[in-house]
Chains A and B, each alone.
Chain A
């Protein structure tokens, strides 16, 4: 477990005080970082699941990207630098599975992690509903960055408009999955509290 500095804790308290005065449910310290083996296991499951099922789980050309959601979630919990690192690792795994994308997913996912990490320890990260459009925005950013990096590698996407269409659907699906995950998390938390 990472030891947090007094300044770090004080800053979080200040954010809470500024944005949610009088909220009794506000945590007094930031959440603990996620253990790396949890994240590694979740990443492996997301990658294998997507590689095995992506064409069958697609809706109007868009497919839920569990890898993006995982990177965004990790980055929000752990900050930009860790988000960037995890994004680069997850993206390189996707590039390895995709085969013909060079390093486009690596850097696109890294940028997505970096951007999502900017939300960490701000009031936005603690506003759950803001995480749902956040997931959509990170997905769109990642898909856009992917197209740019593919272009930079001299392997441009054949029909950019089609990919934009698919990216919009993917961002919507990711937002829905993020919303469902948050609701399930709340439900699980309430159950645990009752016990």
Chain B
């Protein structure tokens, strides 16, 4: 009776004042928490239910997307590879345009004991390669063929100690012999009168294996000893031998001109036959 009277009085009092009663506030707050909890639970259950219903479709969609992703990744890898090979392929095409009779080849190996600076290419006598043929890349002179098998050939790089190529310093037309020093090339027998400068371009002189004017490298150091007959210079090769992948073999002029003499694969010197008018060898 007392509780009923109190509730009634509180409610009447609040109604009279036009405000929500204490009881209404308490019940409303408590019910809000409860309602929130129930709504969240029901929402989660509803979502889980719908997810459960959607699960097979999602699984199928996931598998499709995974497959598509795998295909796209493979395609991406292939396209990257194609993109990477485009510059090289274009370089070889340009080189072949310059030397129409050239034979494109791929580097497949090196000297197994690394005694000689040489590479193995995948073209041999069956493709028309002959001993003594010059080998170039887009960057410049690579070396000379020293051994030929039916389907592969060995190329002695210009950086090998045994390699000797007739060379001309482009600025001044000074004649020299370019020999290998394992990592670089050394210009020997340069006249003491020659005004060499660091950065001067060095190209091939006309010889058995190479036509004139192919880039060998640039002068990196000059040795000009007093009292010596000749001066010498160290040349930084133009070709990056560490990442050489494709080359072009230039059939030697002996092959193109029958009866011009037989090539010797053991002869390390590419004998120069440039006319004296083109080059200067001394005073």
Contact = CB atoms under 8 A, between A and B. Distances in A.
B244 to A, nearest CB: 10
B162 interface: yes
Interface string B143-162: 00011010001101000111
B161 A51 contact: no
Given A51-B120, A55-B114, A97 B265 contact: no
Contacts of B268: 158
A97 B120 CA distance: 8
Interface stretch (B44-52, B64-72, B104-112): B104-112
Contacts, number: 75
B161 A162 contact: yes
Interface residues of A, number: 29
B162 A158 contact: yes
A111 B268 CA distance: 28
A162 B159 CA distance: 14
A147 B118 CA distance: 17
A52 interface: yes
B265 A94 contact: no
A54 B146 contact: no
Contacts of A65: 113
Interface in B95-117: 109-117
Nearest to A58: B114
B4 interface: no
Contacts of B154: 98-100
Given A52-B109, A100-B265, A158-B162, A63 B147 contact: no
Contact of B113 (A94, A157, A158, A159): A94
A185 interface: no
Contacts of A54: 110-114
A149 interface: no
A51 B112 contact: yes
A52 B153 CA distance: 15
Contact of B115 (A51, A52, A56, A163): A163
B112 A100 contact: no
A103 to B, nearest CB: 13
B266 interface: yes
B182 interface: yes
Chain A's interface: helix, strand, loop or mixed, by majority? helix
Contact of B147 (A100, A157, A162, A163): A100
Nearest to A53: B110
Given A51-B112, A94-B113, A99 B120 contact: yes
Contacts of A53: 110
A53 B114 CA distance: 9
A110 B93 CA distance: 45
B179 to A, nearest CB: 9
A98 B42 CA distance: 79
B113 A154 contact: no
A58 B114 CA distance: 8
Given A99-B153, A100-B146, A158-B162, A51 B116 contact: no
Contacts of B265: 100
A163 to B, nearest CB: 7
Nearest to B147: A99
A184 to B, nearest CB: 23
Interface string B176-189: 00000010000000
Contact of A158 (B110, B161, B242): B161
B182 A98 contact: no
Contacts of A19: none
Given A154-B266, A155-B266, A100 B156 contact: yes
B105 to A, nearest CB: 14
A102 to B, nearest CB: 9
Contact of A94 (B112, B116, B120, B147): B112
A105 B113 contact: yes
Contacts of A116: none
Given A63-B114, A99-B118, A158-B161, 8 more contacts: A55-B242, A56-B242, A61-B114, A97-B111, A99-B147, A154-B266, A157-B115, A158-B162
